[in-house]
A and B are shown apart, each in its own frame.
Chain A
């Protein structure tokens, strides 16, 4: 076992907490009360379910407040345990949107010191769709780590998971990555894994760099401009790296224009991320030894970039 082994595992978990969405880890069974409930009713429920608090929802399942064990104790203390909660409950509630990464929920749990957080439908919605606790997150992480470990065992490397072990085993097999449209949080993962892969093969830094940039730009293109697609990375018999990117549309109406440096169709949102300078395709072309692009408004766009690994750098 190499000394850096545990650090690599941590990297995997670190990546996972960004990848796993709150909705994948949360529990959908929400125990809640409405504003007409009394502290006594809630106290009995909390005791029965061994929970530390419950969300208070209105008739549309929108969150209006929360009652915690602390509130119950205060109610006992101040002698209003049989009163309705309306006038006493905490109305400022910390929630997490279901499409955020679990890392956001972890931070909120840590910051607020509460045990459970209501999950809302989206960042702008107050509708509660689930509840998340630290143990939900840990459970999900363990399941994911387990499934990555199983994939290593089964040598199913088709998706090129983040693992040195898998990376070594796919040396002569193509790496295939799904890329989702509009998923900015994971954009860059393909390039990151690919870079690591070729670094491990002792490919010269400058070539690895070009491969990584082509992957990243192609990945960003699929993510920013298409409905989703995939990227295949392989080494052919001429000792060249072939990076192929496919997407499912909508296609590029004017390819020549798209290849012009500075031309862009990027939205404000994309520009806010620091992209959309109109340099994506020109940059891929610049980094590649051979470059090919085809696009159809019916089937989508196909891009192929070839980078030579050089004569003397035989891959293992």
Chain B
């Protein structure tokens, strides 16, 4: 699954990083606790979160996230978008709640899987 698929599935708005939508997502993290992301995430993952502070981008960059989705329709401050832009991390925004975002992605993953079988 690519980031551009997420844009479609979650009807997301692209806040920055249009160039990087072809990136392949290898893992997902849905989390509002940065400490947990630092402890458990894997490389090349997509982060879904309700946090919009600068530290989200810092954490994402350091742990090797390839993109961030802000759920619950939250718009990050300009500082956050600026930092993401300078670290080449695409930012998406969706009005879906966290649980629903995850559900939609999982449903799509299952569809994808059955297509391969």
Contacts and interface: CB of A to CB of B under 8 A. Distances in A.
Interface in B70-100: 78-79, 82-83, 85-87
Contacts of A188: 54-55, 58-59, 61-62
A259 to B, nearest CB: 14
Nearest to A283: B39
| Chain B interface residue number, banded | 20 to 34
A10 B62 CA distance: 20
Interface residues of A, number: 35
Given A104-B79, A212-B62, A274 B51 contact: yes
B62 A195 contact: yes
Contact of A191 (B32, B54, B62, B82): B62
Nearest to A278: B35
Interface in A193-213: 195, 205-206, 209, 212-213
Contact of B86 (A11, A184, A286): A11
24 contacts: A11-B86, A15-B86, A18-B83, A103-B82, A104-B78, A107-B78, A185-B79, A188-B59, A188-B61, A191-B62, A192-B62, A192-B87, A209-B43, A209-B63, A209-B64, A212-B62, A216-B58, A274-B33, A274-B59, A276-B35, A279-B35, A279-B38, A279-B39, A280-B35
Interface of B: 32-36, 38-39, 43, 49, 51, 53-56, 58-59, 61-64, 78-79, 82-83, 85-87
Lowest 9 CB-CB distances: which A-B pairs, in order? Answer: A188-B58, A14-B86, A277-B35, A274-B34, A279-B35, A212-B62, A274-B51, A283-B39, A11-B86
